[in-house]
Structures are given as structure tokens and as C-alpha cells.
């Protein structure tokens, strides 16, 4: 990124901003934190329209036949959609109330309130009661004029006809009920009308989703354009008593020539500078086709700061392998690959990179399923006697092998992260600030190497390489970086104290980080066991009846493995992401906090 400061005469500033928007290569630096009230209102409108767009995208448009009358003006369309949403919300509440009234009236059947009023005119008042079936006392019928209307499994509903002047009796175990003013038929008609209106409004929303999305997007872009322009003006400084306007922004290397050609053609004065440590340039990631697929995962945590390395290409291969390790079933991997491949033919263009990533993850799952001999929960080494497998069964990895492999993967990623940390420290501050990390890398790698060599050669206490002179010299050199030269600008005694504290954190942290990778083995094992369990359930629960047996067997397999794919797939995505963001990012010294490059450009 390169920083540009534009100095423009005030009368030409509007034209300059219009040209800058057409170029669309300058990310304007925001100097003022508090936006104006107008900008806040426009920002609220953009968010509101964005929510409407997301809401309409979820609608089902398959049943929309004829094109309805939809306003072309975005503002009017937004108002109509909001009105429909508000009316639907109102109908939802009204329907809830009406259904409660329906539940109250149904036990009493169809009756006319007018007829009851006529009864009242002759001095008889009907009072409605209900009681539980067990508490209804037939003796009440001897004392009062009672008519039992209905009885269900729980309650008995009855009416007492009181003569004029009589008080409503208090019956032990029965309660008086106040019924709605409408009849059952009227309430049923109200519900029918409301449900009909609800269906019509939902159909209209479906039509908006099919034919109005482009208008909404266009309207959103119009408001966003206005907001961006006002933001540019808001972040402009007045110079020379307002006669000169100063605007600053960032432009990537790839667009410098295009911008400078325009500035020279229009004779616009500008200053160009490289970013300093205190600057916070926006981030525009540059990755190859494979690493680019995993950028959305990295963005879930944070973009890198400008002065540090983008870790996406470094964690992408590990993430893919870890996913395959956790799911670890070749059959499940094929499901991911086939499903993503088929859906790619009709998926939106923006979603296709996600499907490509799913294909890679599925491929890694097939690989790990192949090396462990697991296919839809079937242990190929123990449960299948096919001749073509006899020569490869010995090559399948055992659970113990997978446990050790998980630790090896963890060790490699942690050390790899430390190498990246060294590169970041040298890039940002110089090699003097990386000596401590280099020292720890030497300690860990040399100690691990000596331990492996001693084990291979069955070394005794007298000839162990771990305590050899060469290794002690290596540790001494590494110790100088860890305890003496860990910070070139500090006192040596402070460095020693900092080194001791770093030793405590390193020893405890490295061990904890390494053990975290056991989750790869645990998830892979649980996925395989669940698949095996569902296979066994399908065999055991299928009745010994032709056709029925095969049908039940198939249903259990589809349901069981479908559930396992969903649950294990979710865990296989989440846990590698945790290992990436916690263990790997920490050991790589990742700081993050970068802001995405968003140039000032025309959206329509």
C-alpha cells in the first residue's frame, strides 16, 4: 500500500471526488470518528435494506407464477415490504389470540349469543362452567338447572341456568369461564380470513424475492454511494482558509500507475509516501488459488496487520489435513466431494469457492479414511476379507499410530508457527528481536532430534547424545539468544529476568499446545466408532422379513450416517479452526487487527 495526500482547489473538489469514485482505487483514510447525523441515518438505511435483502433471499420463489406489480423505485419497494412484514406480524399476534378464543369456544359447540340474550329477557341467565372430569359432581344437577354441553378426556363443560335475582353459585372443583363475545362460527371465519390474508402476503413477499431483489440491491448501492461520498467529504481537511481541500488515502501497488496517470492528466498536486510503523494501512490479501479458498476462515478471526505476514497460505494445508484427520472416513469424504461437485453446477458464482474448499476438505477426508481403512464406519482391516485388500491391510494405521501422528502434526505446526514468528519479527523490528524465538526453535529441534537418535540407537546413560558436548554447546548458544540477547534495547539483567519468565511460559505453553492436538485423534476415533455403531444398529434392528428388512436397514443407515456426517463434520471444522486460531496463531505471534481494503468507488 502507498499513502497519497491530495491537495485540490475547492472549486474543483466535487469533480475530483467524482473522478476518484470512477477510478475506484483509493481507500480513504478516516480521520474523524464521529459521523454526522445524516451519515448515521444513511448507514441505518443501508443496514435495513441489507437485512431485507437477506430476508428475501431465504424466501421460496419456486411457486411464484405471474409477475406481480412491484414498484421500480427502491424507496417505495422498501416501504411496501416493511408494510407487509408489519401486517404479517400483526396477523401473527391476532391469529394467536383468535386460536385461543377458538380453543375456548370449541367445547361449547355452535350456539347463538342472540338466543342467549332472548333467554335473559325472560329472567334466566346462563352461566358457563367447567371442571375436571373427576371433580364433576352429579348432585349439582339436583340443586341447579344444569345442562352438560360436552365432556372430553380432561374436562366437563356445563351451563347453569339461573333465575333472575339468583347469585352465581360457588361449586367446589368447578370454575366459571368467560367466553368471547363471538360465536364459534364467527371465530372460525375470522381465522380462515386471517390465514388467507397471511398466505396472500407471504405470496407477495415471495414475489418480491423473485422480482424485486435487483431493485433493492440497486437502491442499497445508491444510498451507499451517497454515504461514501459524504464520508469522503467528512474526512476532508480544509487548508488555506478553505480554498484547498486535503484528502488522504491508500492505494495498492497494482493501481498506482492508473491513479498517477489521472493525477498528472488533471494537474492535481499530491504527495506519496510509504507506510510507517504507526500507520494502519488497509489490508488487501494476495493469495494463490488454493490459499484464497481459505481466506473466509482467516477473516472469522481477524485480518493481519499491515506489517505482518498473512497466515492464510500457511494454515490452509494444515486446516485441510486436520479436517480429514478428524472426520477420517473415506465414505464420508466421498459424500462431501460428490455433493459439492453436483451443487456447483447450480450454485451462485459467489458460493462456488466455498464448494471448492469443501471438495478439498472431502479429498483430505478420503485420504485419511484410506490410510486408516475406514469406509462408512466399516473397518476394512477387520471386517472385510476381499482379496484386493489383503496386500494393504498391514499398511492401515492403528489407533496408536493415529495418536502419535496427531502429536507429530501438532509438533510440526507449532514449530512452523515459530519460524513464521521469526520472519515476522525480522520483518517488523529486525533480527535482534527474533533471537529469543530462534533460540527456542534451536532448543526444541535439537532436543527432539537428540531424543529420537538416542532411541534409535538404544543409547545408554553414558553415551546419550542428549547430554553430549555438542548438544550442550548448541543449547548454550541458544541460551544466549533466550536469556541475554532477547531484546537489543534492554538492560542485560532485565533480559535475563524476561528470559526466565519466558522459559516458564514456553515450557508450560508448548506442552499444553502440543497436547491440544490430541483432539484430532479423539474426533477421528469418535467419528469411526459412531459409524460402526450405526452399522451394527442397522444389522441388529432390521426384522427378518423380506423387503422390510432391507428397508429398515437402509433407513437406519441413512439416518445414522447422515447424523454422524453432520455432527462429525461440524466438529471437524470447528476444532481445526480452534487449533489454528489458538495454538498456531499464538506460536506464530499473530497480532491481527487489520482493516479490509475498501476503495472509494462507484457501486452502480
Q: Which residues of the chain have pLDDT under 50?
A: none
Per-residue pLDDT at 391: 67
Pairing status of strand 27-28 against strand 269-273: unpaired
Alpha-carbon span 75 to 216, nearest angstrom = 8
Beta-carbon contacts of residue 152 (< 8 Å; ≥ 6 apart) = 107
Instruction: Decide: helix, strand or coil at residue 379.
Output: strand
Burial 137-171 (b: 16+ CB within 10 A, else e): eeebeeebebeeeeeeeebbbbbbebeeeeeeeeb
**Any bridge partners for residue 250, and if so which?**
3, 27
Question: Which residue, among 563, 578, 250, 198, has the nearest Cα to 413 in the 3D structure?
Answer: 578
Alpha-carbon span 398 to 152, nearest angstrom = 63
If you compute the radius of gyration of the chain from its CA atoms, what whole number of angstroms results? 37
Domains in the chain and their CATH numbers? 1-31+235-279 (3.30.70.2030), 33-105+184-234 (no CATH), 111-182 (no CATH), 289-587 (no CATH)
Q: Name the grid cell of 515.
A: 497436547
Distances from the Cα of 540 to the Cα of 45, 526, 533, 553, angstroms: 59, 21, 10, 9
Q: What is the pTM of this model?
A: 0.76
Alpha-carbon span 311 to 566, nearest angstrom = 28
Per-residue pLDDT at 66: 67
Beta-carbon contacts of residue 298 (< 8 Å; ≥ 6 apart) = 310, 311, 312, 315
Per-residue pLDDT at 496: 87
Distances from the Cα of 23 to the Cα of 148, 251, 603, angstroms: 83, 11, 12
Per-residue pLDDT at 86: 94
Per-residue pLDDT at 378: 85
The alpha carbon of 199 is separated from its chain's Cα centroid by a whole number of angstroms, namely: 32
Per-residue pLDDT at 604: 65
DSSP 241: T
Pairing status of strand 146-151 against strand 124-132: unpaired
Alpha-carbon span 135 to 156, nearest angstrom = 9
Instruction: Decide: helix, strand or coil at residue 250.
Output: strand
Per-residue pLDDT at 388: 65
Alpha-carbon span 571 to 577, nearest angstrom = 10
Q: Name the grid cell of 3.
A: 499513502
Any idea of the CA torsion for 374, 378, 379, 383, to the nearest 10 degrees?
-150
Q: Name the grid cell of 380.
A: 476394512
Per-residue pLDDT at 59: 85
Amino acid at each position: 500500500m502507498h499513502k497519497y495526500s491530495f491537495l485540490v482547489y475547492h472549486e474543483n473538489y466535487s469533480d475530483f471526488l467524482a473522478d476518484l469514485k470512477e477510478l475506484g482505487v483509493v481507500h480513504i483514510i478516516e480521520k474523524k470518528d464521529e459521523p454526522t447525523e445524516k451519515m448515521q441515518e444513511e448507514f441505518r438505511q443501508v443496514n435495513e435494506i441489507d437485512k431485507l435483502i437477506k430476508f428475501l433471499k431465504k424466501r421460496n420463489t419456486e411457486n411464484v407464477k405471474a409477475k406481480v406489480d412491484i414498484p421500480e423505485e427502491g424507496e417505495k419497494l422498501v416501504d411496501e415490504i416493511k408494510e407487509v412484514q408489519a401486517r404479517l406480524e400483526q396477523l401473527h399476534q391476532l391469529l394467536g389470540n383468535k386460536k385461543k378464543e377458538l380453543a375456548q369456544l370449541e367445547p361449547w359447540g355452535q350456539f347463538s349469543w342472540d338466543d342467549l340474550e332472548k333467554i335473559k329477557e325472560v329472567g334466566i341467565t346462563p352461566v358457563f362452567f367447567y371442571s375436571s372430569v373427576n371433580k364433576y359432581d352429579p348432585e349439582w344437577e339436583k340443586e341447579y338447572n344444569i345442562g352438560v354441553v360436552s365432556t372430553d378426556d380432561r374436562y366437563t363443560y356445563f351451563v347453569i341456568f339461573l333465575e333472575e335475582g339468583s347469585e352465581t353459585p360457588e361449586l367446589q372443583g368447578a370454575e366459571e369461564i368467560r367466553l368471547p363475545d363471538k360465536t364459534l362460527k364467527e371465530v372460525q371465519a375470522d381465522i380462515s380470513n386471517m390465514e388467507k390474508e397471511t398466505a396472500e402476503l407471504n405470496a407477495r413477499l415471495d414475489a418480491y424475492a423473485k422480482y424485486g431483489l435487483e431493485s433493492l440491491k440497486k437502491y442499497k448501492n445508491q444510498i451507499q454511494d451517497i454515504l461514501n461520498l459524504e464520508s469522503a467529504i467528512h474526512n476532508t481537511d480544509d487548508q488555506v482558509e478553505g480554498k484547498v481541500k486535503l484528502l488522504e488515502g491508500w492505494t495498492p501497488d497494482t493501481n498506482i500507475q492508473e491513479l498517477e496517470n489521472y493525477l498528472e492528466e488533471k494537474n492535481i498536486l499530491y504527495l506519496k509516501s510509504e507506510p510507517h510503523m504507526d500507520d494502519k494501512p488497509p489490508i488487501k490479501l494476495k493469495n494463490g488459488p488454493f490459499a484464497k479458498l481459505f481466506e473466509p476462515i482467516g477473516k472469522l478471526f481477524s485480518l493481519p496487520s499491515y506489517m505482518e505476514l498473512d497466515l492464510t497460505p500457511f494454515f490452509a494445508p494444515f486446516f485441510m489435513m486436520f479436517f480429514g484427520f478428524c472426520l477420517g472416513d473415506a465414505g464420508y469424504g466421498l459424500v462431501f466431494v460428490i455433493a459439492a461437485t453436483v451443487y456447483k453446477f447450480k450454485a451462485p458464482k459467489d458460493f462456488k469457492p466455498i464448494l471448492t474448499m469443501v471438495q478439498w476438505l472431502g479429498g483430505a477426508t478420503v485420504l485419511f479414511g484410506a490410510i486408516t481403512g475406514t469406509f462408512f464406519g466399516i473397518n476394512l482391516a477387520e471386517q472385510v476379507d476381499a482379496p484386493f485388500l489383503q496386500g494393504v491391510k498391514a499398511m492401515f494405521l492403528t489407533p496408536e499410530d493415529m495418536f502419535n501422528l496427531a502429536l507429530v502434526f501438532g509438533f510440526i505446526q507449532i514449530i512452523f508457527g515459530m519460524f513464521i514468528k521469526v520472519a515476522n519479527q525480522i520483518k517488523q523490528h529486525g533480527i535482534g528481536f527474533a533471537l529469543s524465538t530462534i533460540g527456542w526453535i534451536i532448543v526444541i529441534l535439537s532436543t527432539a532430534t537428540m531424543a529420537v537418535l538416542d532411541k534409535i540407537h538404544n543409547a545408554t546413560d553414558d553415551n546419550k547424545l542428549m547430554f553430549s558436548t555438542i548438544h550442550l554447546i548448541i543449547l548454550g548458544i541458544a541460551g544466549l539468544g533466550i536469556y541475554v540477547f532477547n531484546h537489543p534495547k534492554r538492560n542485560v539483567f532485565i533480559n535475563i529476568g524476561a528470559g526466565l519468565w519466558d522459559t516458564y511460559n514456553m515450557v508450560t505453553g508448548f506442552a499444553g499446545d502440543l497436547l491440544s492436538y490430541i483432539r484430532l485423534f479423539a474426533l477421528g476415533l469418535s467419528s469411526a466408532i459412531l459409524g460402526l455403531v450405526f452399522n451394527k444398529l442397522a444389522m441388529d434392528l432390521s426384522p427378518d422379513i423380506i423387503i422390510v428388512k432391507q428397508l429398515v436397514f437402509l433407513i437406519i443407515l441413512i439416518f445414522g450416517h447422515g447424523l454422524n456426517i453432520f455432527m462429525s463434520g461440524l466438529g471437524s471444522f470447528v476444532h481445526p479452526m480452534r487449533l489454528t486460531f489458538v495454538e498456531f496463531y499464538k506460536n506464530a505471534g499473530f497480532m491481527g487487527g487489520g482493516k479490509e481494503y475498501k476503495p472509494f468507488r462507484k457501486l452502480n
